[in-house]
Amino acid sequence: MKDLVENGKGKRDLLANNKEFIYFNKKKEKGRVSLFLRSSLLLMLFFSQTLEESSQRDSGGTQE
């Protein structure tokens, strides 16, 4: 590993691999965040609908 870094070509390859690795990690992180946001939005939508339905049921029950 050490002689790879001392050699100019090896150093360049190492840097290129490192950049790709960092880019891949950032991409993966973005995917995780968007997945989290999507799932939380879906949960919020679901709960808001159930709340609306339950409030309509409650108001409908009191009117009868």
What's the confidence (pLDDT) of residue 51? 81
Q: pTM for this structure?
A: 0.40
For residue 16, pLDDT over 60 is answered with yes
Nearest to 19 by CA among 8, 27, 31, 30: 27
Domain hosting residue 26, numbered range: 8-63
Of residues 28 and 47, more confidence is placed in 47
Of residues 60 and 8, more confidence is placed in 60
Domains of the chain: total: 1
* Assigned domain for 13 exists: yes
8 Å CB contact between 33 and 39: no
Write down the residue that tokens 């939005």 correspond to.
41
What's the confidence (pLDDT) of residue 64? 45
* Dihedrals phi, psi of 37, to nearest 5 degrees: -65, -45
* Assigned domain for 3 exists: no
Tokens found for residue 45? 């939508």
* Assigned domain for 57 exists: yes
* Assigned domain for 2 exists: no
Q: How far is CA 9 from the centre of its chain?
A: 36
| pLDDT tens digits for range 46-62 | 888 888 888 877 776 55
d(CA 7, CA 10): 5
